[in-house]
A and B are shown apart, each in its own frame.
Chain A
Amino acid sequence: MIQVNGDPLAWTPGLTVRGVIKAKNYLFPLLIVDIDGVRVDPPDYDATPVPDGASVQVIHLLSGG
């Protein structure tokens, strides 16, 4: 199990940052991702694994017209 923005999400082996974003259906394009306080840049989303028990923060920047 991991925590994403404070909510639980089931962990599976091989889970990446991209997998978290997909699982949460985070469609918004302007995201900032931290895993246990360490920032992950967008080019690394596909290759960065998310360990079991991690605390993931996915910050959505502001929007609204």
Chain B
Amino acid sequence: MTANAAGPAITPCAVDYSRRTEYHEGLDAIKAAHRLLREVRYTPSLPMKGYNDRTLHVDLTTLEFREEPVTRQMKDLFVGGRGFGLWRLWNAVTPATRWNDPENEIIISPGPVAGITQYPGSGKSLVVTLSPQTDIPIDSNVGGYFGPLLKFSGFDALELAGRAATDVILFIDGQKGILRIEEAPLEPADSHILAELLTRMYAEDEADRSNISVVCSGAAADHSLIGMLNFSWWDKRRGCIRLKQAGRGGIGTVFRDKRIRALVCRGPVVKADLNHPVDFETLARTGIKLHKEIHTLDDSQCKMRRNGTAHIVEIMDAYDLLPTHNFQYGSHPDTHKIASPVWEARCSQMTADGCWYGCSMGCAKGADGLVLRTGPYKGHMVTVDGPEYENAAGLGSNAGVFDPDWLLELNFYCDTYGICTITYGTLAAFVMECFQRGILDRERTGGLELAWGNAEADLELMHQIARGEGFGRIAGQGVKKMKEIFIRNGWGDPGLIQDIGMEIKGLEYSQYLSKESLAQQGGYALTNKGPQHDEAWVIFMDMVNKQLPTFEAKAEALYYFPLFRTWFGLMGFCKLPWNDIAPADNSKTDEPAKIPEHVQNYLDLFTATTGIQIDRETMLMQSARVYNFQRVFNLRMGKGLREHDQPPYRSVGPVTPEEYLSRQERYDKQMLEEIGIDPEGRPLDEKIAITRKYRMDRYGKLCDAVYARRGWTPGGVPTMARLAELGLDVLPEVVAIVQQHGG
């Protein structure tokens, strides 16, 4: 046992966190093979009041760099982060643009507050592109150092357009004022090696490694639609790189389609005041207040410093919300094998294990000393970041994998291959249920025995995706396209395949069971980008607390929380320090679920950085502009209507007899008390059908209520009145699209 300044004594991880397989060999040869394609000089700058007032546009086809101004209107309407990304993308594409057209862009933008070191969770970037999975804009938030270092190199956003002729590395040297595109023919594809090599290659000495961040994907992004991006930072204590992921929607696939092997940013040495805020004292005071809260309360609240988001694995299981066997069930007897005490012991416990400076929540838990048992790195000893809750649930319970080492290996390969863990978890669970139900068999999977809990087959499927081989080529298309393929091949009941394939708009569900919470069904389905929990997580409010008894109450929650959460993505904030720690007197406030003191912190941080005074209403208006703009963007791309907000029935109610029987008491009670039909003596098929009709009808009524509260038509189109209220009526093409759709 050892004492830790952060809390009580714990049993430490027995693994030496400094040991792992090294990948330095060949670095000189790889570097020597680089060929300079273009180099230009620029004048580095630091932000003033959080903004540089310029972005960097890179055309990979012509190898041209261009600085673009950040205008007053751009800041007023779109603020930063996700807002900047959507606006730049809007200007780059047309309704006919698809993800693999050269004019599609990837935009990386931190927000105006991103990069402050005083307040925990302030280093996020937002990545926006047209998704290969959904054909609409995807936004994904990510930690790591790249976004803040980009900003401190002089740019509020990086726009990547065009397609290079060969694999290239884009190097931004914010210390020397150099922009360079280099042909990079010999680089390894996979992130755990590539980010390590490039960090060492572009740092001028050992101390300089902390100023380097690499963005890269992995082998799977070349062969699938589900590629993600890794954002690195240098972990000085471990002496290796760490990775955070912009996972959702296939951004890594777009990245590789543009023939980008990696982005490398070398920023200045990070200091406390690089944003040049107007009121440094308030930043410092507000940060100290939260640091004290975390220090005092985290061990008795969520233990984020010990477990990160994995602390909720056993909690979700206890509330019947842990997705199990493709979202059929909400708990499993073996959950204790992948619960937080397992990860607390398995991850090396260090203080401040965070993905940006100053984050005392430090939830980026590293599991060291994992010796891989499969794949191209079999026998290697590696450090894995995670698992976060989503990984433990998606790669674990949802696939029936309850062995922590196999789960870590799945997590590792997802990361290094550039595969979104959430997406993979949901698609693998779908494949396994198809295998269970005879929609797939060994012949159709090329010999893979994809039974529940078969981690080795699960990993082989992942290796196939990375190699672009076998059944992996099909699985790597994602759930939506798999459904189309299976139905086209006549491999099973089309209705069943649609019901159990957990995607909306082409994006796979994240890892919560929404079946018994109507509000959360909307929290997933009434999103802009697809079913990701970063808009509205309202299951407890609805299902457990029963605070949302009416359609109007649910609609209010689905108005407020998506806007509040959008705001984090405009600023460069992480959501976790908002509500995974609560002030000691939070219970005495009027609206404890909103953590009012922390909301005030965020308002203070924005004002202290930018000098712009805002209140809670202004905060929601900032978000609402971007949120409604994104909805109109979806319309422009041919989606964004009510018909595109329809969930698979598995997320609404029981599809199969087994599911119904697993919660028969709940469903029979609902039938008797709410529907007014006595279930006694009725055949199971009839009860399933009655429940389905009732629940889908209620989902329709929820849509009506939510659209009305958001200021949208019954068809899901923002009204002209709402556009005017938000000031978006100054954008002629936005107005034209809304009018065309009857808004």
Contacts and interface: CB of A to CB of B under 8 A. Distances in A.
Given A28-B540, A30-B301, A64 B545 contact: no
Interface string B124-136: 0000000000000
Contacts of A64: 312, 512, 533, 537, 539
Contact of B545 (A5, A27, A39, A65): A5
A25 to B, nearest CB: 5
A61 B540 contact: yes
Nearest to A57: B545
A13 interface: no
Nearest to A33: B587
A60 B390 contact: no
Contacts of A27: 314-315, 318-319
B474 interface: no
Given A27-B314, A28-B315, A60 B580 contact: no
Contacts of A65: 309, 312, 388-390, 533, 576
Interface string A12-23: 000000000000
A58 B587 CA distance: 11
Given A28-B540, A39-B588, A65-B533, A59 B309 contact: no
A32 interface: yes
Given A27-B314, A27-B318, A63 B580 contact: yes
A32 B592 contact: yes
Nearest to A43: B584
Contacts of B315: 27-28, 63
Interface string B307-322: 0010010110011000
B592 A61 contact: yes
Interface residues of A, number: 21
Contact of B546 (A5, A29, A30, A41): A5
Interface string B366-401: 000000000000000000000011100000000000
A26 B582 CA distance: 18
Interface in B562-597: 576, 579-580, 582, 586-588, 592-593, 595
Contact of B579 (A5, A39, A57, A62): A62
A37 interface: no
A8 B388 CA distance: 35
A61 B544 contact: no
B533 A29 contact: no
B541 A62 contact: yes
Interface string A37-63: 001011000000000000001111111
B740 interface: no
A64 B544 CA distance: 14
Nearest to A28: B315
6 contacts: A27-B315, A28-B315, A30-B302, A62-B579, A63-B579, A65-B389
